[in-house]
Amino acid sequence: MPHQVTLIPGDGIGPEVTDAAVRAVAATGVAIDWQRTELTSDIIVASHNELPPHVIESIERTHLGLKGPVTTPIAGGYQSVNVALRKRLELFANIRPVRNLPGLHTRYSDVKIDLVIFRENTEDLYSGLEHEVVTDVVTSLKVITRLASFRIARNAFAYARTMGRKKVTAVHKANIMKLGDGLFLKCCREVAQEYPMIEYQERIVDNAAMQLVMRPEQFDVMLMPNLYGDIISDLAAGLVGGLGIVPGANIGDRCAVFEAVHGSAPDIAGKGLANPTAIMMSAAMMLDYLKEMEAATRLRGAIEEVYKEKRRLTPDVGGAASTTEFTDAVVEKLTAR
Ligand code: NAD
């Protein structure tokens, strides 16, 4: 029986990179019945709904999605579909493994970076609750709850134990947001006590950012509320070669949606320049989730081989290959085995 997966190509570079991921997954030999579901900024504008029902229905049926990015207008327009989807499906954990790829030269090539970001995915300043109190005075509500903070902390520590990770670092700004980030931290501390075998430390977010740039190798699992997770993810991606290579998973109790960290990259959309590594690596995480570990390992191995060879890499990582040429190379590796 093929696995049923909702495929949301998205917009911008989304269709290019998701097509590449579908080809790579097919080359692993795992049978997937892709339920293709269109969701673009044009569809959202036309339907006046940032979360059209056909998308939710599909994921609620398959319980699983592979998603390309969807454009969100800046300072106005509709709410982020990505945020809405995560909230609606209660995809509370955003998990982003960040590590060097073999053969990929970066400013940090000589440093071993292998960390995993656990970002709370449903609240914080992403509550979307903004209010113009009087003209030119706006408040944005940062929502932190015990339920959501505990959930993400439990998830991060359970992951650390299962994956043999040694340390969890909670990232916060509880020196300033004493109540909100204070509650987040309190929950992290309580959960940490249940895992005495895992080292627990805390870093204020500004210091965490500096430490990441100075000594990224010190971090293992990083646990944080939503907004810090968003910013730190891009920073961490920059350390290992950029947004083109870092994958992600949005996990809930009922459903999971896998997507790259990057957005729709309108500056390069439609030009064949997009790097599909991040979404392919997200697809590998999806295969793990489906208990197709052997295929997931082969997919990651094929991508790494292409990086080691350096001949067919996309421009963002110093190569001259197109999205299709890179994908051909990964598929060749998978089918040559
Ligand atoms: P972005 O991630 O789209 O792009 C940032 C930079 O990284 C750009 O220079 C882009 O060319 C480059 N880049 C990103 N992915 C790449 C890839 N796979 N290969 C090569 N280069 C890549 O971030 P942005 O420009 O801030 O956002 C653009 C749009 O994407 C916005 O509307 C934003 O809301 C949306 N967005 C969506 C998601 C999502 O759907 N999950 C996530 C982030 C941003």
pLDDT by residue (tens digit) across 223-239?
999 999 999 999 999 99
CA of 16 to the centre of ligand 1 (A): 13
Q: Kindly report the protein residue whose alpha carbon is nearest to atom 42 of ligand 1.
A: 263
For residues 93 and 226, give the distance between their C-alpha atoms in angstroms, rounded to a whole number. Answer: 10
Across residues 38-66, what is the average pLDDT? 94
For residues 93 and 66, give the distance between their C-alpha atoms in angstroms, rounded to a whole number. Answer: 16
For residues 149 and 177, give the distance between their C-alpha atoms in angstroms, rounded to a whole number. Answer: 15
Instruction: Tell whether the model's pLDDT for residue 337 goes beyond 80.
Output: no
Any ligand 1 atom below 6 A from CB of 58: no
Confidence of residue 50 (pLDDT cuts 50, 70, 90): confident
Any ligand 1 atom below 6 A from CB of 262: yes
Q: What pLDDT sits at residue 186?
A: 98
β 199-204/167-172 pair status: parallel
Q: Which amino acid is at 199?
A: E
Q: What is the pLDDT of residues 97-135, one digit of tens each?
A: 999 999 999 999 999 999 999 999 999 999 889 999 999
Any ligand 1 atom below 6 A from CB of 132: no
Q: What pLDDT sits at residue 213?
A: 98
For residues 66 and 53, give the distance between their C-alpha atoms in angstroms, rounded to a whole number. Answer: 17
Q: What average pLDDT is seen over the chain? A: 96
Q: Which atom of ligand 1 sits closest to the CA of residue 69?
A: 40
Instruction: Tell whether the model's pLDDT for residue 40 goes beyond 90.
Output: yes
Any ligand 1 atom below 6 A from CB of 316: yes
Site to probe by mutation for ligand 1, drawn from 71, 89, 262 as the one with most ligand atoms within 8 Å of Cβ, is 262
CA of 239 to the centre of ligand 1 (A): 16
Instruction: Tell whether the model's pLDDT for residue 194 goes beyond 80.
Output: yes
Q: What is the pLDDT of residues 61-83, one digit of tens each?
A: 999 999 999 999 888 888 888 89
Instruction: Tell whether the model's pLDDT for residue 303 goes beyond 90.
Output: yes
For residues 120 and 226, give the distance between their C-alpha atoms in angstroms, rounded to a whole number. Answer: 5
Partners of 224 in the beta sheet?
Answer: 119
Site to probe by mutation for ligand 1, drawn from 86, 126, 243, 280 as the one with most ligand atoms within 8 Å of Cβ, is 243
Instruction: Tell whether the model's pLDDT for residue 283 goes beyond 70.
Output: yes
Any ligand 1 atom below 6 A from CB of 233: no
Q: What is the pLDDT of residues 256-267, one digit of tens each?
A: 999 999 999 999
Instruction: Take residue 96 and report the two structure tokens written for it.
Output: 């982003």
For residues 223 and 94, give the distance between their C-alpha atoms in angstroms, rounded to a whole number. Answer: 10
Site to probe by mutation for ligand 1, drawn from 264, 268, 325 as the one with most ligand atoms within 8 Å of Cβ, is 264
Q: What pLDDT sits at residue 76?
A: 84
For residues 243 and 153, give the distance between their C-alpha atoms in angstroms, rounded to a whole number. Answer: 25
